[in-house]
Amino acid sequence: MDKHDNVKLIIGLGNPGAEHETSRHNVGFMALKRFAEKYFPMPVGKFKSSVIIKGHTKEGRLILAWPLTYMNVSGRAALELRAYFKIDPESNLLVVHDDMDIPLGKIKVSVGGGAAGHNGVSSIIMAVGAKFARARVGIGRPVKTDGSLPQGINVDYVLRSFAREEEPDLEKGLELAAEAINSWLNEGSALTQMRYNKKTRERTRKVAEGQSVPAPAREGAEGPSGPDPAPKGAEGQSVSAAGGAEAFPAADGENSPEAALSAPPGALSPPEGDASA
């Protein structure tokens, strides 16, 4: 088997630099980092325009990537990774990104389609086509003074950090996203969509109809029934990205995606583009 056979690539979208680290537009970075911490704690390195983690799963190789190109030219990093590792976008690419049309604390998994105004997704579509899977992490929309939800992209809103009162829902969304990434990796898009999309649709409908929707309890947190179990595999075992790490130098001496991505943009790669929505 060629060294590039059966390589899965997961790209988290965001903007590099400490000033963007906690912004709504960076939940793609955050969610992939959460997945790496829970399921794939491997050394961090750099490949061309991305911070990456690489290793092996039961099915083959896995590459996690955080582009350093800024959001609106994320396609450059995706194209570099696809070309070198010979990725088939239709079956082996998952892009994790923020979505204003999904409430904070919820996620949705989809395959194909347009960019819905998201410049990072649009850039990747232009680079590799549209038939890849997406893990869309909800950030919600800003609420007007009359209680209505504005349409269109609000640049100031997506580049703003989360409020303290939103942190419980943010944690909920990041945990769900990490679980969904793990499910996609081990079980594919169809089963992952069935598992994670139903509750999101119901909550989105209620918000659109102006109904009051309580903040969801964190799944996996200790409660009356204890923590929620991880998805189970065919033999009833918790599914995880297990395997072995490849020897890989840390990026600029740092050993976590967060540290690498928080560095000044020019420290790891000359940035292009800007931090637009």
Residues designated as active site: 25
What phi and psi values does residue 238 have, to the nearest 5 degrees?
A: -60, 135
CA gap 158, 274 in Å, rounded: 14
Crossing angle between the packed helical segments 27-39 and 167-187, to the nearest 10 degrees: 60
